[in-house]
Amino acid sequence: MITKNQIGLDPQKTKILAERLNELLANYQVFYMNTRGYHWNIKGDNFFELHLKFEELYNDSLVKIDEIAERVLTLGHTPLHTFSDYIGHAKIDQDRNVTLGKEAIKNILKAYAKLLPLEREILSISEGSADEGTNALMSDYIREQEKSIWMYSSYLG
């Protein structure tokens, strides 16, 4: 007989999900700081447009960070919560002093190229675990980011 956790899921499967979600959390924390930096440091012709777009991105990331951490807790595990943990687990590079819009957009696309495969992996694991809560979260993130990739790629030409 398989023991279930407090929300009726297999604890072994939720452990794996929590590990991947913590990796996603770490990447979003770095992404958040990068987009915050773009917002602060952007210069040039598209300043007003990009300044607002980067603010929108970091606000969205902040919501996702909270959702991911709360999902880890819901699964019965502990979310990462130190900068050293984030840097140690993130695959997104830290960007420093980016002032050019096209460079920032290219970095955002590179970050999405790391976020999307991880989100798809989490979605696959959650589907096999009957974890509809994590499924729904990842499906929403993937859909949003696929559209963003199209839009940012179009911006670059």
Whether 77 contacts 15, CB under 8 Å: yes
Q: Is the pLDDT of residue 95 over 80?
A: yes
pLDDT, residue 148, reads 98
Q: Which of 15, 33, 6 is nearest to 129 (CA)?
A: 15
Q: What percentage of the chain reaches a pLDDT higher than 70? A: 99
Question: In this model, does residue 1 exceed pLDDT 80?
Answer: no
Nearest CA to 98 out of 110, 86, 90 is that of 110
C-alpha distance from residue 127 to each of 6, 14, 73 (Å): 18, 12, 19
Mean pLDDT for the stretch of residues 67-71:
98
Name, in order, each residue with C-beta under 8 angstroms of 121's C-beta and a sequence gap of 6 or more: 20
Q: Report yes or no: 128 and 13 within 8 Å, Cβ to Cβ.
A: yes
Query: Is the pLDDT at 25 greater than 90, yes or no?
Result: yes
DSSP assignments along the chain, one per residue:
-----TTSS-HHHHHHHHHHHHHHHHHHHHHHHHHHHHHHH--STTHHHHHHHHHHHHHHHHHHHHHHHHHHHHTT-----SHHHHHHH--SPPP-S---HHHHHHHHHHHHHHHHHHHHHHHHHHHHTT-HHHHHHHHHHHHHHHHHHHHHHHHH-
pTM for this predicted structure: 0.96
* pLDDT tens-digit readout, 83-94: 999 999 999 999
d(CA 117, CA 105): 19
Domains of the chain, CATH where assigned: 11-156 (1.20.1260.10)
Q: What is the pLDDT of residues 110-153, one digit of tens each?
A: 999 999 999 999 999 999 999 999 999 999 999 999 999 999 99
Residue 2 has pLDDT above 80, yes or no: no
Over residues 38-60, mean pLDDT: 97
Mean pLDDT value across the chain: 97
